[in-house]
Amino acid sequence: MKKLVFLIFSIVFLFGLVTPISASASSVSIIIDGKEQTYDQPAIIDNGSTLVPMRGIFESLNASIGWDQETKTVTGEKGDISVQLTLGNKKALVNGQAVELHVPAKVLNGRTLVPLRFISESLGAKVGWDQETKTVTIKSGDAVVTPAPKKKLTTSELVKKVDEQVVTVETDITYGSGVIVGDGLILTNAHVLEGYTNGYVGFTNGAKVGITGIVEINKEKDLALIKLDTSMGINPVSFGSFEDVGKGDDAVAIGSPYGLKNTVSTGIISNVYNEDGFRLIQTSAQIEAGSSGGGLFNMYGELVGINTFAIDSSGDLNFAIAIDEALDWKKYFTMNHSNIPVKEKSERFTLWNGISFGMTMDEVKELETTPFHEEGNIIAFPFAEFYDYPVHIEYTFSTEGYLQEVGIYFIEGVTDLTKQQLTERYNDIYSQLREDIGFDPIDSLEGWTESGNYEEAIYDYWYGQYPWVFLVAGYNVDDKANQLNITISIEDSQ
């Protein structure tokens, strides 16, 4: 494991990076292996937890320490134990596994303070507390820590545990899968993002969230880390290791082949490869087009690989990149969503007025200035404008509250038009829409044709790139009136 270089950061904090906290200085005594500890910043009690300077406690427990100034992340290592905390984040990592903290690491007087009990116990020490004397007693016990035995799961139990942590990744170019590894953070294959400009991630609960951009990408390893527009509050996967994968072990692959969301396939580990330091896992668990970026799990429900490709034969020759190849990026896994940096931003598909898919109801309301009424997951604006025409616009949101579809209804001045007038209005809107979209429609109904409840209809349909756009006009609909509508959606709306 690579050691992070410890940076002298206290001077930087003194010049404006100090975050005020609500905590009290204390007279807590700290005794480690019979020796009372003295630190340059006294211990404090914050919400019932004792916090101490990070460097002091790690060194007192004979652990090495590293600091990443960019991500504000501290990493302590002792033997085969690695502990990682990020300032202000209540999630930490212990050997790659997420752990919830009672209080996060924070800064006081130019010193980074960390939870004493959490650090000590994570490094294998035993912690005692004497309330009367306010004394913390720690026995470091440099013996190797024996983790609690892990329970093997049935396939059904495994799927219940990890299914929501596997997602679909759809861009304007292609379709694939991904795995949740952090706060609004998805790990997938680099080739899933090849040539993309924008896209979204779909969850098992039906929610869809836009891709903010690429955090890290390694095309040689075919791995990429992407940030979403918002955090979904779903816990990340637990990590296994290539070192614990053996030939003949059972394995489960989850992904979305051919768009069939979160399809489960089972098999065994057929072989493992470590060529020039690059680790690859062969499995008989089936992988197809669209599975790329999905997860390969051991029977403890731990992610051991990212499904990547299959050799087209009847030999069940499927391959996943070992999760170890992505752990160079683990510093991002415990960061707060707002702090995760993006190296390559997506080009957001903006509808109008700055509105884009993935926005919340409140965000749309702030940008639309006309009166509206709200019913369930729909906000309707009956007095809006589109291409200088009066329209009724309906914004439809997912069950999670994110914009998924927009319906635009040209009502005023349309219902009583003659067929020729309706055609002229349609052609004007088509021309403006075609220019905004930037490419010709994929499917069109040329000339007026009987269709469904339309006496006659014409339409143009843009799809295959994100999003889908459906422009349709109907003449003498149900013997009542004309219709002219546009539907814009991040799902196939035809």
**Residue spans in the chain of domains classed CATH 3.30.457.10:** 10-139
Phi first, then psi: what are they for 247, rounded to 5°? -60, 135
Spell out a b/e string for 405-441, using b for 16 or more CB atoms within 10 Å of the CB, else e: bbbbbbbeebeebeeeebbebbeebbeebbeebeeeb
pLDDT for 492 beyond 60: no
How sure is the predictor about 142, in pLDDT bands with cuts at 50, 70 and 90?
low
Tell me what the mean pLDDT of segment 20-30 comes to.
Answer: 56
pLDDT for 362 beyond 80: yes
**Which pair of structure tokens corresponds to residue 356?**
């884009």
What is the CATH number assigned to the segment(s) 149-348?
A: 2.40.10.120
Closest-CA residue to 297 (of 158, 476, 95): 158
Task: Yes or no: say if 419 and 448 are a contact pair by the CB < 8 Å rule.
Answer: yes
Report the CATH fold assignment for 10-139.
Answer: Copper Amine Oxidase; Chain A, domain 1 (3.30.457)
pLDDT in tens, 185-202: 999 999 998 877 778 899
**Residue spans in the chain of domains classed CATH 2.40.10.120:** 149-348
Question: Using DSSP, how many helices (H) and how many strands (E) does the chain show?
Answer: 6, 38
Task: Yes or no: say if 298 and 244 are a contact pair by the CB < 8 Å rule.
Answer: yes
- Separation CA 93–CA 89 (nearest Å): 11
Q: In this structure, how many other beta carbons lie within 10 angstroms of the beta carbon of residue 150?
A: 14
pLDDT in tens, 235-273: 999 999 999 999 999 999 999 998 889 999 999 999 999
Closest-CA residue to 55 (of 37, 78, 43, 39): 39
pLDDT in tens, 51-104: 888 888 888 888 888 888 888 888 988 888 889 889 888 889 888 888 888 889
- Separation CA 443–CA 353 (nearest Å): 28
40 or 147, greater pLDDT: 40
